[in-house]
């Protein structure tokens, strides 16, 4: 019994041992817009098919109830042959671990977000309870979407850890993740996040991107909040009309001429009141699409921060090199341009010997060489990062524009559908009133 | 009870509600009137009305026939209520309305009258009509005060709602075959202010009215014994109808409230898309398109709420009041019958008294007075016979009264039901039409938006 959320998207999974040519080919192919039914290399069908509740002991040895999700994978060629898919169960925390690993390992990638851990921006009908079946269902859809995003990403889809997450139950996947040592990197990133550092020459595009992410986050939060309130109110309007149904029906019992007209009008009022449920459920799907991009802003900011960190390190190293150069110059020319204790003491206690100076010079020369190496390295690192990050950012921008444009259009179409239903119900009611 | 207006006004000045409103009201009225009149059954037949209108029930039955099957488009009287003005005196502040009458009826001296009336005057007219025709169904007046909500007595909306209701009130009376013949009605429409005041002072005094009321109460306490089946049926219907219409009134007001709250949120919703469009390049146009749609939805919703408040809410409210009127009419009919029954019982008792051959008490009494027992008995017989004759006369009159009351009510009942059906059908129909219109307009707008910018 598969919980169906609509047609399943086909995503690309590459295997982990590819020649560079194949890799290029993969990337080229995956750069193409992913659409249902599009033919790509090594298609694998992925779905998060079900959700189940489990009980178990948590880390502090207490009983807890949690939900697990069934991940099914199947090569697309096998579709027509009706081969049962491979499947395994994963819980939300494992998805989180996977995502953190990807974030750290590929800092230049805008990594897709996970669906909400806790239901936050909801309207009153949906409870904020994590165990609520509607919430679980929407989360299931969100997790599936996450997997599709990762699987269709030109770089991420090749990651070994990701592939094992999808397909192999037996291995201790968590152990494997920790063995990659990503935790250490994660810690240093965390330190970087918390450290207050000032970058002198950040790439302007990243600064702009950071501002954009902040703006987008603010506006989407507000939009989603107001939308939820609007949905609430609309629900109220429709449901109150249900009372007409009841009263018309009761009233029709005491009327002779008007009875039939009233009775049937009442039925239409009931239908009207009931129609809002479908309308709002469709809208919830739209809200989820917007929410994904709200959560994406975190990933965008993370990439910007990584750039700042890289840039900062580069600047530090360059500064250090400049310092060393200056020191060498001072030593060679014997001039002391800057005040230093050494300078003072040498003045007071006499100059160094030629041998001492020579020794110092040699040390400095070595340091200078190392410093120049470091600067070159950092420069390359920074350039590489900027280049790869910007490729992914462009990819993300295109994806965002496409997705959101489609979402907005479908929203308008939803409104049209709502109008059509309204026209039908009230035209019917009008005919009934005419018969009164 | 008077209230002070915030604006400072000198006692002698009269403030006119801004001119644009009065202009609007006149236009509204003409169309409304004609709509309503063509649906209602008009019974205006010039032959039926004489210059001097007798007001005794007996003659009325003969004069005005209930020609309900005749649908006549020949209206001979047109009344409009408009142009509210506030009057400030040293003691109080009140609003007057202009009552304009155009008529070809012969009992009116002129063909056109323009007078100003205040709410009190309407109340007086209603009271007089109900007194004279206690079992006819007089259309209700708008309420004296607004019970709930925080509507100021001099708030524009309140005044407009009241004006419309007063307009309907007068027109319903004009449509009524019997009520429109009333002298009080004629005076109300034609007399100048001071003439009306003088006229009001005539007629049965306050005390005699009290007497009647006391008698009515006394009889109603006793209750009616043999109510005809059809009136019991009407009463049961009125009970149920009162409940249903009350519920509909509440539901509709709730819908208005919910719609208004929905509108408030919508007004905040559209701008978020506009704000977002400022941060986007590719998406900017689409976002503005969605913002535009939401804005349009706001506009349409506002119109729809307005229509609901103007059309359905007042009509439902009117019929809530009607239900109360009906209950009162049924009570009055019962009282008339109760009075008749009471008198009948009194007659029976008297007859029993008279026919009692020997009354020990009478004998003893007579002998105490030193009278001849024979003579005493004879005198007593004569006295009782006289009283019995009197009672019989009264009972005849009351019987007439009961018959007339029942016929009046029966006739009016059919009339009222038809009006009710017409009014409510029209109001619900209009609401449904407006709702279709709402969705259609919004649909078309989104459609064009999709092709243009989305």
Q: Which of these ranges, A330-334, B392-396, B444-448, has the smallest mean pLDDT?
A: A330-334
CB distance B174 to B180 below 8 Å: yes
Which among B240, B266, B275 has the least Cβ separation from residue A230?
Answer: B266
Asked if A237 lies within 8 A of B259 by C-beta distance, the reply is yes
- CB-CB neighbours of B317 under 10 Å: 21
Q: Does B439 touch chain A (CB under 8 A)?
A: yes
Q: Is A168 helix (H, G, I), strand (E, B) or coil?
A: coil
Question: pLDDT band at A351, cuts 50/70/90?
Answer: low
How are strands ordered across the β-sheet holding A43-57?
A10-12, A43-57, A63-75, A86-91
What pLDDT score does A10 carry?
39
Separation between Cα atoms, residue B232 and residue B222, nearest integer Å: 17
The structure tokens 């390049």 sit at B281
CB distance B248 to B316 below 8 Å: yes
Tell me the nearest-neighbour CA distance from B429 into chain A, angstroms: 6
Q: Which residues contact B404 (CB under 8 A, 6 or more apart)?
A: B57, B58, B60, B61
Q: Which helix (H) or strand (E) holds B60?
A: helix B57-63
The structure tokens 């079992």 sit at B135
Q: Please, is B303 exposed, middle or buried when counting C-beta atoms within 10 Å of its C-beta (0-12, 13-18, 19+)?
A: middle
Q: Name the residue among B120, B50, B108, B46 with its Cα closest to residue B79.
A: B108
Asked if B247 lies within 8 A of A243 by C-beta distance, the reply is yes
Q: Which residues contact B351 (CB under 8 A, 6 or more apart)?
A: B388
Question: Structure tokens of B195?
Answer: 């003439």
Task: Write out pLDDT tens, residues B8-17.
Answer: 433 443 444 3
According to DSSP, the residues that pair with A70 across neighbouring strands are A50, A89
Separation between Cα atoms, residue B3 and residue B153, nearest integer Å: 8
B424 CB neighbours in chain A (<8 A) are: 258, 436
Mean pLDDT, rounded, for B215-224: 63
Taking only residues 412 to 431 of chain B, the set having a beta carbon closer than 8 angstroms to any beta carbon of chain A reads 421, 424-425, 428-429
Separation between Cα atoms, residue A320 and residue A314, nearest integer Å: 10
Tell me the nearest-neighbour CA distance from A426 into chain B, angstroms: 6
- CB-CB neighbours of B102 under 10 Å: 16
Tell me the nearest-neighbour CA distance from B79 into chain A, angstroms: 29
Asked if A412 lies within 8 A of B436 by C-beta distance, the reply is no
DSSP readout, B71-128? ------EEEEEEEEEEEE-SS-EEEEEEEEEEE--TTSSSSEEEEEEEHHHHHHHHHH
Asked if A219 lies within 8 A of B429 by C-beta distance, the reply is no
Q: Which residues contact A13 (CB under 8 A, 6 or more apart)?
A: A42, A43, A44, A46, A73, A151, A157, A163, A166
The structure tokens 């000032």 sit at A198
Higher pLDDT, A55 or A158: A158
What pLDDT score does B192 carry?
86
Separation between Cα atoms, residue B419 and residue B167, nearest integer Å: 16
Tell me the nearest-neighbour CA distance from A407 into chain B, angstroms: 10
Q: Which of B254, B439, B452, B453 to mutate to test the interface with A (most CBs of A within 10 A)?
A: B439
Q: What sign for the dihedral angle of Cα B19, B23, B26, B31?
A: negative
B179 has pLDDT over 70? yes
Separation between Cα atoms, residue A241 and residue B435, nearest integer Å: 13
Which among B258, B286, B425 has the least Cβ separation from residue A405?
Answer: B286
What pLDDT score does A15 carry?
41
According to DSSP, the residues that pair with A46 across neighbouring strands are A73
Mean pLDDT, rounded, for A323-351: 70
Separation between Cα atoms, residue A254 and residue B239, nearest integer Å: 10
B58 has pLDDT over 90? no
According to DSSP, the residues that pair with A44 across neighbouring strands are A11, A75
CB distance B398 to B340 below 8 Å: yes
Q: What sign for the dihedral angle of Cα A7, A9, A15, A18?
A: positive
What is the Cβ-side half-sphere exposure of residue B302, based on CA atoms within 13 angstroms? 10
Q: Name the residue among B414, B47, B401 with its Cα closest to residue B212.
A: B401
B352 has pLDDT over 80? yes
Tell me the nearest-neighbour CA distance from B24 into chain A, angstroms: 29
Task: Write out pLDDT tens, residues A245-281.
Answer: 999 999 999 998 889 999 999 999 999 999 999 999 9
Q: Which helix (H) or strand (E) holds B382?
A: helix B373-452
- CB-CB neighbours of B194 under 10 Å: 8
Q: Is B36 helix (H, G, I), strand (E, B) or coil?
A: helix
Percent of all residues in chain A with a pLDDT value above 90, rounded to a whole number: 42
Task: Write out pLDDT tens, residues B406-423.
Answer: 998 999 999 999 999 999
Q: Name the residue among A93, A45, A53, A90 with its Cα closest to residue A69.
A: A90
Average pLDDT over chain A, rounded to whole?
81
Task: Write out pLDDT tens, residues A372-416.
Answer: 998 999 899 899 999 999 999 999 999 999 999 999 999 999 999
Separation between Cα atoms, residue B139 and residue B166, nearest integer Å: 10
Q: Which of A250, A265, A402, A412 to mutate to test the interface with B (most CBs of B within 10 A)?
A: A412
Separation between Cα atoms, residue B423 and residue B319, nearest integer Å: 9
CB distance B126 to B171 below 8 Å: no
Mean pLDDT, rounded, for A1-8: 40
A72 has pLDDT over 90? no
Question: Structure tokens of A117?
Answer: 């851990």
Task: Write out pLDDT tens, residues A165-177.
Answer: 888 776 688 888 8
ipTM of the complex: 0.82
Q: Which helix (H) or strand (E) holds B214?
A: helix B206-222
CB distance A154 to A26 below 8 Å: yes
CB distance B57 to B400 below 8 Å: yes
Question: pLDDT band at A352, cuts 50/70/90?
Answer: low
Label the pairing between strands A10-12 and A43-57.
Answer: antiparallel
Mean pLDDT, rounded, for B286-312: 94
Dihedral, B271, B272, B275, B281 alpha carbons, nearest 10: -120
A271 CB neighbours in chain B (<8 A) are: none
What pLDDT score does B35 carry?
30
Q: Is A155 helix (H, G, I), strand (E, B) or coil?
A: coil
Q: Does B313 touch chain A (CB under 8 A)?
A: no
What pLDDT score does B419 carry?
92
Asked if A412 lies within 8 A of B454 by C-beta distance, the reply is yes
Over B223-289, what HEC string results? CCCCCCHHHHHHHHHHHHHHHHHHHHHHHHHHHHHHHHHHHHHHHHHHHHHHHHHCCCCCCHHHHHH
Q: Quote the distance between the C-alpha of residue B206 and its chain's center.
A: 23
CB distance B446 to A279 below 8 Å: no
Tell me the nearest-neighbour CA distance from A298 into chain B, angstroms: 17
This prediction's pTM: 0.77
Percent of all residues in chain A with a pLDDT value above 70, rounded to a whole number: 78
B77 has pLDDT over 90? no
């Amino acid at each position: 019994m598969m919980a169906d959320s609509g047609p399943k998207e086909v995503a690309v999974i590459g295997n982990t041992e590819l020649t560079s040519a194949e890799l290029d080919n993969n990337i080229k192919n995956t750069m193409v817009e992913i659409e249902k039914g599009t033919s790509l290399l090594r298609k694998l069908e992925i779905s998060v098919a079900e959700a189940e509740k489990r009980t178990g002991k948590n880390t502090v040895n207490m009983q807890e109830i949690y939900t697990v999700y069934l991940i099914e994978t199947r090569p697309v060629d096998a579709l027509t042959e009706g081969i049962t898919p491979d499947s395994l169960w994963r819980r939300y925390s494992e998805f989180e671990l996977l995502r953190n690993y990807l974030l750290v390992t590929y800092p230049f990638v805008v990594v897709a977000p996970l669906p909400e851990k806790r239901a936050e921006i909801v309207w009153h009908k949906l409870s904020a309870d994590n165990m609520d079946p509607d919430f679980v269902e929407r989360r299931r859809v969100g997790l599936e979407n996450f997997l599709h995003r990762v699987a269709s990403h030109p770089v991420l889809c090749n990651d070994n850890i990701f592939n094992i997450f999808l397909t192999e139950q037996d291995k201790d996947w968590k152990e494997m993740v920790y063995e990659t040592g990503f935790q250490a990197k994660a810690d240093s990133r965390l330190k970087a996040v918390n450290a207050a550092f000032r970058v002198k020459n950040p790439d302007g595009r990243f600064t702009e991107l950071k501002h954009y992410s902040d703006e987008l986050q603010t506006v989407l939060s507000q939009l989603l909040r107001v939308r939820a309130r609007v949905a609430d109110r609309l629900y109220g309007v429709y449901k109150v009309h249900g009372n007409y149904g009841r009263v018309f029906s009761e009233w029709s019992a005491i009327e002779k001429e008007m009875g039939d007209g009233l009775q049937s009008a009442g039925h239409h009022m009931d239908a009207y009141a009931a129609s809002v449920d479908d309308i709002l459920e469709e809208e919830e799907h739209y809200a989820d699409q917007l929410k994904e991009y709200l959560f994406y802003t975190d990933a965008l900011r993370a990439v910007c921060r990584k750039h700042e960190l890289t840039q900062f390190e580069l600047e530090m190293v360059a500064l250090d090199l400049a310092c060393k150069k200056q020191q060498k110059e001072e030593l060679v020319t014997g001039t002391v341009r800057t005040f230093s204790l050494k300078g003072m003491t040498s003045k007071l206690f006499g100059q160094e010997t030629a041998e001492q100076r020579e020794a110092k010079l040699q040390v400095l020369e070595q340091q200078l060489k190392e410093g120049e190496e470091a600067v070159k390295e950092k420069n390359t690192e920074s350039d590489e990062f900027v280049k790869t990050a910007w490729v992914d950012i462009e990819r993300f921008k295109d994806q965002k524009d496409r997705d959101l444009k489609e979402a907005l259009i479908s929203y308008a179409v939803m409104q049209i559908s709502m109008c059509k239903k309204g026209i039908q119900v009230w035209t019917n009611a009008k005919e009934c009133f005419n018969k009164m | 009870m008077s209230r002070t207006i915030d604006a400072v006004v000198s006692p002698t000045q009269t403030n006119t509600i801004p001119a644009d409103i009065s202009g609007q009201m006149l236009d509204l009225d003409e169309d409304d009137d004609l709509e309503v009149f063509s649906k209602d059954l008009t019974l205006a037949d010039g032959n039926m009305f004489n210059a001097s209108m007798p007001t005794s029930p007996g003659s009325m039955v003969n004069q005005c026939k209930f020609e309900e099957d005749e649908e006549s488009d020949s209206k001979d009287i047109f009344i409009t209520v408009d142009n509210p003005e506030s009057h400030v005196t040293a003691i109080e502040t009140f609003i007057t309305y202009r009552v304009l009458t155009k008529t070809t009826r012969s009992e009116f001296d002129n063909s056109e009258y323009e007078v100003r009336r205040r709410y009190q005057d309407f109340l007086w007219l209603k009271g007089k009509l109900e007194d004279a025709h206690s079992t006819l169904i007089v259309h209700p007046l708008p309420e004296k005060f607004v019970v709930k909500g925080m509507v100021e007595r001099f708030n524009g909306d309140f005044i407009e709602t009241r004006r419309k209701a007063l307009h309907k009130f007068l027109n319903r009376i004009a449509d009524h075959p019997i009520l429109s013949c009333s002298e009080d009605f004629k005076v109300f429409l034609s007399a100048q202010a001071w003439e009306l005041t003088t006229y009001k002072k005539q007629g049965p005094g306050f005390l005699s009215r009290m007497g009647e009321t006391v008698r009515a109460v006394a009889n109603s306490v006793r209750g009616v014994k043999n109510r005809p089946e059809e009136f019991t049926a009407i009463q049961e219907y009125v009970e149920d109808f009162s409940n249903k219409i009350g519920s509909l009134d509440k539901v509709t007001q709730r819908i208005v409230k919910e719609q208004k709250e929905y509108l408030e949120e919508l007004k905040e919703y559209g701008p978020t898309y506009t704000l977002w469009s400022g941060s986007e390049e590719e998406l900017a146009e689409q976002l503005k398109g969605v913002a535009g749609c939401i804005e349009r939805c706001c506009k349409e919703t506002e119109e729809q709420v307005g229509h609901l408040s103007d059309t359905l809410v007042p009509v439902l409210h009117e019929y809530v009041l009607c239900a109360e009127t009906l209950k009162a009419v049924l009570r009055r009919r019962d009282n008339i019958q109760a009075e008749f029954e009471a008198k009948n019982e009194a007659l029976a008792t008297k007859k029993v008294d008279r026919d009692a051959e020997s009354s020990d008490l009478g004998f003893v009494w007579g002998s105490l007075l030193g009278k001849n027992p024979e003579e005493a008995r004879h005198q007593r017989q004569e006295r009782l016979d006289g009283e019995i004759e009197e009672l019989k006369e009264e009972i005849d009159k009351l019987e007439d009264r009961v018959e007339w009351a029942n016929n009046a009510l029966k006739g009016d009942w059919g009339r009222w039901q038809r009006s009710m059906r017409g009014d409510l059908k029209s109001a619900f129909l209009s609401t449904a039409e407006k709702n279709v219109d709402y969705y259609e307009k919004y649909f078309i707008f989104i459609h064009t938006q999709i092709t243009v910018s989305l």
